[in-house]
Structure 1
Amino acid sequence: MDYDERMKSCHVLVTEEAVQETLKADKGIKAQLTSWRIEDFTKFGDNYASIVTSVVVSFVLDGVDEQTSYVVKVNPCHGYPNTEGVTNVGFVKEAEFYGKLLPRLNAAMEEASLKTLRFPKYYHSCLEVGKELLFLEDLRRRGFKMYDRRKGLDVAHASLVLEELARLHAASLLLQNKDPEYFQNTLLNRDWANTFDGAIDVDAMFGGHFDNTVAMLEKIGGYETSIQWIQSTKPNIREILTEQLEPSKYHVVCHGDAWNNNCLFRYNEGVPEEVMFVDLQLNHRVSFGNDLNYFLYTSLTGDVRKPNLDALLETYRGHFNAAMEAGGAGGEGRLSEAEVLQEFRNLNVLGALFNMMIIGAILMEPEDVPDFQMKGKDEDFEKIIEEMRVKSLDMIDTNPLMRPRFLSVFDELMETGLIPK
């Protein structure tokens, strides 16, 4: 089933009943729905674990005709019944974040006289397996838009993201201090790779990308020690990911998928002044170093990340400490400059892993991105990996963005000592 066909299948899942429930949650019970229509605005390559579309709604409120719109995340309709459980867990995690966790996080922020966290408003969800829907605020109506994923974020954009990650992380600790039992027995305590009860073969998923990275480095030449490091790390992927679950002082609620495709920005005369986070299907509770590594090694080019790293980490630390201080946390709740840098460095292996996993998809033209929807057969996944390998190898010579973006990560991690020189 191609992308356009799948979009049509997804449209069927968006029901008038769901639209009415969304309108009621947004405008109140007096709002009377008069008409609605689906209006697609995303394209192939923008969506991975779900399909994202929008609904334009006409209604009458207090005798006045009005119109609004909502963003709708929909079951991806990939046609593989045996992976519907994986899809459902992602929707459940996101719905629980918006519907249950976020109000508590925002209450903790408001109690500290801080602004609430920057996420779209949540209105309605359907979590029936195979029919999942999630209705959210259409941030386009407030001027937010996606940044071109193929361009690395500059310092101004990256600083906004790090400020908001810091506030999210701090809010979770303020909530934990207020209600220590809240985070027990929750999906948040599973690393994203362990969320799906074995339905995803993590070793195969990462292993294929590791092999592709080795092929790319071999083609470029001169990175023999990086190749050896990748090959020695590959058998330990699951262990590396599982280690991140160990409780520590640095455990917070992480976004889990913090790269520039999941950040929307609002501008004032071309200058970014506000960020909103979207796509919370992989949110989980681990070290803040997870989000920092994921974001900094997938969403910035080396020539921005390396010379500005200390300043960017200090931006994160400053806003984290400010939130903790406003929330009444003592000195133990604050992070020192050395602690932030050390925890970031301790988890640099995750930055390398996720860079290897998504760098090709980030830099490809939208029409060239393989279909990453979860498949039901091993040979389907192997076909995707092989398609990525062929396209990524070609991009080394044909896409001027690929080689410097790809190699900068290995160059930096050799300088820091994670990868032997």
Structure 2
Amino acid sequence: MGEVTLDFLQDILKDDFPDVTITNFEGAPGTKRGDNYTSVLYRISLKGTERHSDGTTASDEPWQGSIIYKCLPESALLRDAFKSDELFCNEVAFYNKIWPALSNFQKQWPNLKVPFKAIPKCYLAQSDIVVLKDLKQQGFVMPDRRQGLSIEQSYLVLKNLSHFHALSLAMKCHSPEDFYELVNVKDGISEVFFVSENEEYYKNYYREAARNALEMVEEELQDTENKDKYIDKFRDFCKEDTFFTTMVDLVTPKEPLAVICHGDCWTNNFLFRYADGDIAEMCIVDFQLARYASPALDLIYIMYVCLERQQRAEHLSSLLDYYVEEMHARLLEMSEEGSVFHTSLNRDVLFDMVQQEFRRCGRFGLGVALDMYPIMTCDSTEAPNLYQANDSEACWKPVWTSNEACRRKMTDLIVELVDGDML
């Protein structure tokens, strides 16, 4: 946080708070240990005075506020291991280029009843710093990473994701040249992790992640009659010569359904504001893993990372149906009568395509789970501390934990995918 000065803060907030003079600030960690891995978040508390005038007299009154300051970890090993520099470039591209273009596109449609706006205001985005509005001031809270999402939360997340994804499909249909400019390799978003040139680099990382997962699953299934069926399928999926290429293939965009995805749809990237015990609104944060890919990847994150097996058994079909219903309704609001969304890509066709993509990409959920389940279920002391400069090799290995929740989640997912003929 060495770059933060009173002049810096005054400058980035001058448009939103033209009558405020900041006199003091203090930074503190913005998240608990284990709640984020690729960047460091600070909450900067601000104090100052605000000038009030009634036309004849003016007075200064105390003012206070806060912002979120996001920067790279001090540890060079962590930055390298988690591709933090590349991820930051992705998020900078999202806030500086992608979201402004998508936002401007949706303004072209006067029939849009409720524009998608579940993204925090960004004051500044550059190569090593992102400064965001502090949603905590408005009453937004982050769910407990260990609890995952409730079904009520999931429906609202899917509603917002469907509207976000619909912007890509509509813009790609109506303004294809402008849309594809958003995903060019020069200054657009791009895949960071699952690209072929990273295969050798991450071989040891995923070898250890798979070994940890296999130990947990073998322990959970030790008294199960058909355990070999599930373990053999899992071993086959994790083979070193095919695992990474499989993940690369699954993140490769397939037309015509490819969209700009959030890319990291786990519990901690959704903030909710409640009123009288009910969810009033939500916001989506952290676009470092934004990618141009199948929308099923974001859906799979929600279903397989954020929900428990029993929740999926009871609600998965209705959640997917709701997502498609919301997406298609939004697409119709951003099109003229007789457009492709009324004809060849109508609601039923779209639903079939989303279902097919969900089944095709289901294995992606398991690949992500190798890393995410331990992250979600571990004790905070088992997670790397991004607020300390730590260049020991242990700090960027996969989180290792064998807690009961992690063993159960990993085993449930493998059994579910195998039984569903998706693995």
Q: What TM-score do the two structures reach when normalised by structure 1? A: 0.85
Aligned AA for 2:317? Answer: D
Does 2:221 correspond to 1:208?
no
Q: How does 1:115-134 map to 2 (within 5 A)?
A: 115-127=115-127, 132-134=128-130
Query: Which is higher, the Rg of structure 1 or of structure 2?
Result: 2
Does 2:32 correspond to 1:26?
no
Query: Could you say which residue in structure 2 is the equivalent of 1:56?
Result: 45
**Superposition deviation, residue 296 in structure 1:** 1.1
Does 2:70 correspond to 1:73?
yes
Q: Secondary structure at the match of 2:177?
A: coil
Does 2:243 correspond to 1:237?
yes
Query: Could you say which residue in structure 1 is the equivalent of 2:314?
Result: 307
User: Matched residues in 1 for 2:211 and 2:96: separation?
Assistant: 40
**Superposition deviation, residue 124 in structure 1:** 1.2
**Superposition deviation, residue 229 in structure 1:** 1.9
Q: Secondary structure at the match of 1:272?
A: strand
Q: Secondary structure at the match of 1:308?
A: helix
Aligned AA for 1:34? Answer: T
Q: CA RMSD in A?
A: 2.8
Does 2:99 correspond to 1:102?
yes
Q: Which moved more, 1:100-109 or 1:258-267?
A: 100-109
Residues 274 and 382 of structure 1, relative CA distance in 2, 3 Å threshold: closer
Residues 83 and 196 of structure 1, relative CA distance in 2, 3 Å threshold: farther
Decide whether the 8 Å contact of 1:162 with 1:316 is kept in 2: yes
After superposition, give the CA deviation of every residue in 1:153-181 in whole Å (9 maximum; x if it has no partner): 12101111111111111111222234312
Out of 13, 24, 29, the residue aligned to residue 40 of structure 1 is: 29
Gaps of 5+ in 2: 53-59
Residues 59 and 176 of structure 1, relative CA distance in 2, 3 Å threshold: farther
Does 2:376 correspond to 1:343?
no
Query: Could you say which residue in structure 1 is the equivalent of 2:146?
Result: 150
**Superposition deviation, residue 207 in structure 1:** 2.7
Does 2:297 correspond to 1:297?
no
Out of 253, 262, 265, the residue aligned to residue 258 of structure 1 is: 265
Q: Secondary structure at the match of 1:111?
A: coil
Q: How does 1:149-298 map to 2 (within 5 A)?
A: 149-182=145-178, 183-184=180-181, 185-186=184-185, 190-194=190-194, 198=198, 201-220=201-220, 221=222, 222=224, 223-234=227-238, 235-243=241-249, 244-298=251-305
Q: Which moved more, 1:360-369 or 1:152-161?
A: 360-369
Residues 194 and 352 of structure 1, relative CA distance in 2, 3 Å threshold: closer
User: Matched residues in 1 for 2:210 and 2:119: separation?
Assistant: 33
Q: Which moved more, 1:243-252 or 1:12-21?
A: 12-21
Aligned AA for 2:65? Answer: T
**Structure richer in helix, relative to its length:** 1
Residues 171 and 254 of structure 1, relative CA distance in 2, 3 Å threshold: same
Q: What TM-score do the two structures reach when normalised by structure 2? A: 0.84
User: Matched residues in 2 for 1:252 and 1:60: separation?
Assistant: 45
Decide whether the 8 Å contact of 1:23 with 1:33 is kept in 2: no
Matched residues, number: 394
After superposition, give the CA deviation of every residue in 1:377-399 in whole Å (9 maximum; x if it has no partner): 8x8259734xx44x32xx13xxx
Decide whether the 8 Å contact of 1:306 with 1:412 is kept in 2: no
**Superposition deviation, residue 371 in structure 1:** 5.0
Decide whether the 8 Å contact of 1:293 with 1:344 is kept in 2: yes
User: Matched residues in 2 for 1:288 and 1:85: separation?
Assistant: 23
User: Matched residues in 2 for 1:200 and 1:110: separation?
Assistant: 44
Decide whether the 8 Å contact of 2:38 with 2:78 is kept in 1: no
Q: Secondary structure at the match of 2:131?
A: strand
**Superposition deviation, residue 236 in structure 1:** 1.4
Does 2:86 correspond to 1:86?
no
Q: Secondary structure at the match of 1:94?
A: helix
Query: Could you say which residue in structure 2 is the equivalent of 1:3?
Result: none
User: Matched residues in 2 for 1:61 and 1:178: separation?
Assistant: 45
Query: Could you say which residue in structure 2 is the equivalent of 1:5?
Result: none
Identity of aligned residues (%): 24
Aligned AA for 1:70? Answer: I
After superposition, give the CA deviation of every residue in 1:199-245 in whole Å (9 maximum; x if it has no partner): 98233333321121111122222332222222222231222222231
